[in-house]
Each structure stands twice: as structure tokens, then as C-alpha cells.
């Protein structure tokens, strides 16, 4: 499920947002924000996920996958040991975890570079340290734990497409976080 972005309004002189910070009270709020983002995703979008262990990166990807139509019976777990999981959705969803990789040379073995910018939507945990090797991305999503169940999510555009995505999903995501 993807959203067509509306054509730019020539009367609107405000720049597209470069970042958006949201307070997430609990896992349900995280799911609502992920669903809002999922509605605006397009094939080729790549999101780098950052945050401490247990900050909610995989929870967020699971909620995006559910919003894109992945059945509840299909588990979405952290690919820490498998490194890459692909889900047969429309568009395909690729979830990678680079935590255990030691150097950018190991990326080639994963085939991840071919998936980025192609027909899939990609979420890459711990990808910031390999950002140069990964190439262009759309957004960075940084999760910060603020309590036992609460998080702060900062979405930062890393491209023009990222700014358009934040603009398209931003008001829905902000409303969903409440």
C-alpha cells in the first residue's frame, strides 16, 4: 500500500520538513506512527534505524509490515543473526540488522546494496556506521528511550524524497503519536 504524493502547491513557500520529533507513549503509539509512515512509503525508500538495544527498532518495522499487509501469524523478529529478512509484500519489505558486521566489505555478501533503491522498502538497523557504503537513503529514524514503555522518535530526511515523505506522513504521524 503506497500513497501518491500530491503535486507541489506553487503558493506554498514553506520548505518540506527536514525532521520530525514525536513522543511515543507506548507500543500502540509506535504502531500508529509506523502505520502512518507505511501509507506514504514507496518502493526504493530506505530508512536507517538507530537507537539502543531494546529501543523499539524492530517493533517499528513489525508495525510497518503489519500496516503493509503482513499477516499477524507471520513473525517479524530482529534479524540480528540472519542479518536480512525479506517479506513478500507489495512493495517487498527488507529488514536488515548490521549490528554484527565488522566492516563495509561484508555488505556485498548480504546483497543489501542491490535491494536499496530498487523495488523494495528497506529498513536497516545499525546502518549509520555503513551509510557511505549503503548509498542514498530516505530517512533516519532515531529511537530514544524516555521511560519503561515510552520513546522519542526523531525522523530525519536524508534526501529530497525523505523530505517529501515527511511532508506526506508528518501530520498523520504527529496525530498518531498522541
Supply the CATH number for residue 90's domain: 3.40.50.300
- With vertex at residue 97, the alpha carbon angle to CA 95 and CA 103, rounded to the nearest 5 degrees, is 130
Residue 153's domain spans which residues?
19-177
69-96 pLDDT, tens per residue?
999 999 999 998 899 999 999 999 999 9
Check residue 176 and give its pLDDT: 59
How many structural domains compose the chain? 1
Other CB atoms within a 10 A radius of the CB of residue 92 amount to 16
Helices (runs of H) and strands (runs of E) counted in the chain = 6, 7
172 belongs to a structural domain: yes
Strands 46-51 and 19-24: unpaired
8 belongs to a structural domain: no
97-149 pLDDT, tens per residue?
999 998 888 888 888 777 787 789 999 999 888 888 888 888 999 999 999 99
Give the distance from CA 90 to its chain's centroid.
16
User: Measured on CA atoms in the order 69, 72, 74, 80, is the torsion positive or negative?
Assistant: positive
Task: Compute the distance between CA of residue 49 and CA of residue 109 in angstroms, rounded to an integer.
Answer: 21
38-75 pLDDT, tens per residue?
999 999 999 999 999 999 999 999 999 999 999 999 99
| pLDDT of 8 higher than 60 | no
168 belongs to a structural domain: yes
32 belongs to a structural domain: yes
4 belongs to a structural domain: no
75 belongs to a structural domain: yes
**Whole-Å CA distances, 125 to 8, 64, 83, 143:** 32, 14, 10, 11
Q: Which residues pair with 20 in a beta bridge?
A: 155
Helix axes 57-67, 27-40, angle to 10 degrees: 50
Q: What is the DSSP string of 74-93?
A: S-----TTT-EEEE--SS-E
Amino acid at each position: 500500500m503506497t500513497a501518491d504524493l500530491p503535486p507541489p502547491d506553487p503558493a506554498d513557500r514553506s520548505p518540506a520538513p527536514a525532521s520530525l520529533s514525536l513522543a511515543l507513549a507506548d507500543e500502540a503509539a509506535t504502531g500508529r506512527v509506523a502505520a502512518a509512515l507505511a501509507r506514504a512509503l514507496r518502493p526504493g525508500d530506505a530508512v536507517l534505524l538507530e537507537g539502543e538495544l531494546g529501543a523499539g527498532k524492530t517493533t517499528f518495522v513489525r508495525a510497518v509490515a503489519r500496516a503493509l499487509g503482513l499477516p499477524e501469524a507471520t513473525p517479524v523478529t530482529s534479524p540480528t543473526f540472519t542479518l536480512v529478512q525479506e517479506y513478500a509484500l507489495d512493495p517487498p519489505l527488507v529488514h536488515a540488522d548490521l549490528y554484527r558486521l565488522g566492516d563495509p566489505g561484508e555488505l556485498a555478501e548480504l546483497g543489501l546494496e542491490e535491494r536499496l533503491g530498487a523495488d523494495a522498502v528497506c529498513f536497516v538497523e545499525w546502518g549509520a556506521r555503513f551509510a557511505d557504503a549503503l548509498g542514498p537513503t530516505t530517512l533516519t529514524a532515531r529511537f530514544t528511550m524516555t521511560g519503561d514503555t515510552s520513546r522519542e522518535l526523531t525522523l530525519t530526511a536524508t534526501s529530497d524524497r525523505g523530505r517529501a515523505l515527511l511532508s506526506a506522513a508528518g501530520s498523520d504521524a504527529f496525530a498518531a503519536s498522541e
